[in-house]
Structures are given as C-alpha cells and as structure tokens.
Structure 1
Amino acid sequence: MDSYTNRLRYDVACLISDLKNLETFQLLRQPHLEKHGLELLDVVDIILEVEKKYGVEITDDLPVFTLDDFAHIIEMQQYRQAS
C-alpha cells in the first residue's frame, strides 16, 4: 500500500472515529467496520460524510466493509476525476 492510500485510511479512520465515537487506532488495527459494532445505518452515515469530504460518489453497488474499501473508492474516483 502506498503512502497516499495509507493517508486516506488514516483520514477515514479519523472521520469514523469522530462520527461514531470509536478509537482511531482500533479502527486502523481492525479495519472491518462490523467488528466495531457498526451497522448498516452507521455505514450509510459514514458514506455520506466521505462523499461530502472527498467529493466522491459511493453508489449502492460498491461494497464498503473496511477502511481499505473506502480508501480504494476515494483513490479510484479521484484518479478518474483528474483524468
């Protein structure tokens, strides 16, 4: 994983930590959202905040279960927008 992807993972972990009152370090150690008790509505809240912060669109058909999923989606959409 490159440094930009790692930075995105950290930023998204901080965002989730702020939204859902979780420890950033714990999210980074265990990137699966369900392991932290987050349910579908929690993930929808996170998706909306990620979309707002990064100017991306996360459609219903894109799986988002981990910090890596969010980082990958953001990175891919930003790459497409830059092209």
Structure 2
Amino acid sequence: MITTNKAIEQEVIRIISKTTKVKPSRLQADASLEQKLGFDTLDVVDIILALEKSFQIVIPDEVPINTVGDFVTYVADHSELVAA
C-alpha cells in the first residue's frame, strides 16, 4: 500500500469540511469533535458515512473517535487507496 498520511489527512479534512460546513482551517488534528467543533452525534454519523463511502471502508461504532486526528488515523490505517 503506497499512500501518504498527509494526502489522507487532507482528504479526510476536505470531507469533514464539506459534510459539516466547517472551514478546513478549524479542523486541526487535535480538535475535539464535540467540545471544540460543536459536532453532535448526527454530525459524527454523517462524517462516518461520508468517509466510509469515499474511502470504501467500514468504521465500526465501537471505534473511539473524539478528534479530527482520530478520523485521519483510522482511515490511514484501514484505507487501501493509493495516493496519486
């Protein structure tokens, strides 16, 4: 698997931004989804669905996702996509 975390991070942030209408500049890796960004459960579910569709992966309910970085790490660890 030839992929870069930076490319995945940029794509994950783009998808989160598009899904939630939050500017990419606010989506730092350590940004808490609930406390800092104000996302509710529905927002997180929408993000998960968008990421699953885009990266063709499954993010189980029991995976602890609390920050933007958690999404990036999970996608990077489970994605088979090759960065262009």
Provide the TM-score with structure 2 as the length reference.
0.79
Q: Give the match's secondary structure for 1:28.
A: coil
CA distance in 2, matches of 1:61, 1:29: 20
Letter in 1 for 2:31: P
CA distance in 2, matches of 1:51, 1:61: 15
How many residues align? The count is 78
Which aligned runs of 4 or more in structure 1 are off by greater than 4 angstroms? none
Identity fraction in percent: 31
Letter in 2 for 1:46: I
| 1:23 CA drift (Å) | 0.6
Q: Which residue of 2 aligns with 1:5?
A: 5
Q: Which residue of 1 aligns with 2:42?
A: 41
- Kept in 2, the 8 Å contact 1:9–1:67? The answer is no
| 1:31 CA drift (Å) | 2.5
CA RMSD of aligned residues (A): 2.1
Cα 1:75–1:29 change in 2 (3 A) is closer
Cα 1:12–1:78 change in 2 (3 A) is closer
Q: Which residue of 1 aligns with 2:53?
A: 52
Structure 1 residue runs without a partner (length 5+): none
| 1:64 CA drift (Å) | 1.2
Bigger relative contact order, structure 1 or 2 (CA pairs below 8 A, ≥6 apart): 2
1:22-43 Cα distance to aligned partner (Å, 9 max, x none): 1101112753212111011100
Provide the TM-score with structure 1 as the length reference.
0.79
Q: Give the match's secondary structure for 2:79.
A: helix
